[in-house]
Structure 1
Amino acid sequence: MTAQGVSRRERVRQATLAEIRAAARRLLIEQGSQAVTINAVAREMGMSGPALYHYFAGHEELVGAVTADFFRELTQAMETARDACPPGEHAARLLAACRAMRSWAVSHRAEFGWVFASPITAERRPDSPRELAGRDFEQVFLEEIAELWEHRPFPVPDPGELPASIREQLRAYAASTGMGLPVEAIHVFMSCWIRLYGLLCMEVLNQLDFVYSDMEPVFEECLREIAPRLGLDYETAAGPAVSPPRGRSARGGPGS
């Protein structure tokens, strides 16, 4: 064992695992998701298919590991952009994270499609690398929303106005996050997320090319619509704020 407690054999194994995941990523980018098979990755590595099973139990485990890499890369980009803004500057931090997400997505279209636009066939084990990395990605937004709700609650509907089925689903999700957010706040957050995520998927999958050759202003328009729903001022990447219309906050005071 080395002074750091990691043997040379383990270092070599970790390096090989990283090389395998990089080979899978190359195949994804160059040939598409269908090309990422155990045998194809093994050929890229100069080894046999059976030899690759010494590192990954099968295709699903390989897919999960590569997906976890993409999640971590995207999460880091979003956290870096968010944390470049001062704590408490909720509008700047949320908008920076959203813009970083789009920037990563449009410059890594194959990876984004692999993570978000492909059906998930692997078993969703809570402790799998993919699920753990996915939750870290999710936390980038949830943590900021929870802090915003605590210090500056945004306008929300009365819970009784939501259909019972939606309330129950949101209640289960809220409990799973451990953030202490009420269902009505989760409802507003999810409405914003669906709008943002749906637009980004359409852009990355080239579904709006028949109209738009430049999607950035369309994305910014989406952010401009979302910000007031969270009681925030919309801010351009380097410009002044635009105040949202005032409404009533979740706790009865004026939304601000």
Structure 2
Amino acid sequence: MAAQGVSRRDRVRQATLAEIRAVARKLLIERGPAAVTINAVAREMGMSGPALYHYFSGHEELVGAVTADFFRELTAVVEAARDSCPPDRRGGRLLAACRALRGWAIMHPAEFGWVFASPITRKRRPDSPRELAGRGFEQVFLDEVAELWKERPFPVPAPGELHPSIQEQLRLYADSSGVGMPVEAVHVFLECWIRLYGLLCMEVLGQLSFAYSDLEPVFEDWLRELAPKLGIDYEEPSSSS
């Protein structure tokens, strides 16, 4: 039965929009980012390029929509892994989320590379689907660390120890994200995130293949190092992870 209040025309349009994004993803996986153009997607769908402009205003909007899809998919995977741990196991929840992020990244290298090349920025359209979906993904990790800080503050630099420029930048970030942590705690969170995300990018992009054929133990070593930075105990991955 059709959803009440949704016209057939709207249903057809939504189905076409979903198909366009699916075709764009297929092109990305099979041929790389440069292959994802308005005309290429149109050809795959048996449409003309101009016809596709009835659905997306241009390449940038198409890229934004596909990127938003990837962020939402990744967020759902990370949240499911996090929620597989009970609320009283804060450390386990964060570690599970980190492992889920790596799992999705290595299973979807093209999509991860696409997201990595499309940074979250509030200087562009802060209300665009890409930016909103990106912030939703970011918030999963930020909220978990904020809860850790609330329950048991972890070690942070002493007040005034950070460079004034860093303090001001992090103050603006903390205010905009509503994280509820002092800038020193935000600094620790971002240090951990930079290391974690940097390692993933190097793995997925093959930048460490000259030395490693299996980076999972390296990733776990980093999680062991991350745990005390955030005041949690390291937990070995479960057999289902």
Quick check: TM above 0.5?
yes
Give the aligned partner of residue 72 of structure 1: 72
Amino acid at match of 1:74: L
CA contact (8 A) 1:159 1:167 kept: no
Amino acid at match of 1:63: V
Give the aligned partner of residue 102 of structure 1: 102
Q: CA RMSD in A?
A: 1.6
Q: Deviations over 1:17-58 (max 9, x none)?
A: 000000000000000000000000000110000000000000
Amino acid at match of 2:69: D
Give the aligned partner of residue 252 of structure 1: none
Q: Residues 20 and 77 (structure 1 numbering): CA distance in 2 closer, same or farther, change over 3 Å?
A: same
Deviation at 1:188, TM superposition (A): 0.4
Give the aligned partner of residue 165 of structure 2: 165
Once the two structures are superposed, the pairs formed by residues 77-226 of structure 1 within 5 Å of their partners are 77-118=77-118, 124-226=124-226
Deviation at 1:181, TM superposition (A): 1.1
Once the two structures are superposed, the pairs formed by residues 28-39 of structure 1 within 5 Å of their partners are 28-39=28-39
Query: Given the two structures, how large is their TM-score scaled by the length of structure 1?
Result: 0.90
Structure 1 runs of 4+ aligned residues shifted over 3 Å read 117-121
Query: Given the two structures, how large is their TM-score scaled by the length of structure 2?
Result: 0.95
Amino acid at match of 1:11: R
Q: Residues 106 and 3 (structure 1 numbering): CA distance in 2 closer, same or farther, change over 3 Å?
A: closer
Q: Residues 212 and 112 (structure 1 numbering): CA distance in 2 closer, same or farther, change over 3 Å?
A: same
Alignment partners' CA distance in 2, 1:229 and 1:184: 12
Amino acid at match of 1:131: E
Q: Given the alignment of the two structures, is residue 20 of structure 1 paired with residue 20 of structure 2, yes or no?
A: yes
Deviation at 1:15, TM superposition (A): 0.4
Deviation at 1:179, TM superposition (A): 1.9
Deviation at 1:149, TM superposition (A): 0.9
Q: Deviations over 1:209-250 (max 9, x none)?
A: 0000001001101111111100110111139xxxxxxxxxxx
Amino acid at match of 1:216: E
Deviation at 1:4, TM superposition (A): 2.1
Amino acid at match of 1:59: H
CA contact (8 A) 1:42 1:52 kept: yes
**Gap regions ≥5 residues in structure 2:** none
Alignment partners' CA distance in 1, 2:159 and 2:59: 43
CA contact (8 A) 2:70 2:115 kept: yes
Deviation at 1:159, TM superposition (A): 2.5
Alignment partners' CA distance in 2, 1:119 and 1:35: 20
Deviation at 1:77, TM superposition (A): 0.2
Q: Residues 131 and 90 (structure 1 numbering): CA distance in 2 closer, same or farther, change over 3 Å?
A: same
Deviation at 1:88, TM superposition (A): 2.5
Q: Deviations over 1:104-137 (max 9, x none)?
A: 000000000000135789x720110000000110
**Gap regions ≥5 residues in structure 1:** 240-256
CA contact (8 A) 1:159 1:183 kept: no
Instruction: Give the aligned length.
Output: 238
Tell me the secondary structure at the aligned position of residue 231 of structure 1: coil
Alignment partners' CA distance in 2, 1:222 and 1:46: 48
CA contact (8 A) 2:120 2:135 kept: no
Give the aligned partner of residue 5 of structure 2: 5
Q: Percent identity?
A: 77
CA contact (8 A) 2:120 2:131 kept: no
CA contact (8 A) 1:117 1:201 kept: no
Give the aligned partner of residue 242 of structure 1: none
Tell me the secondary structure at the aligned position of residue 5 of structure 2: coil
Deviation at 1:67, TM superposition (A): 0.1
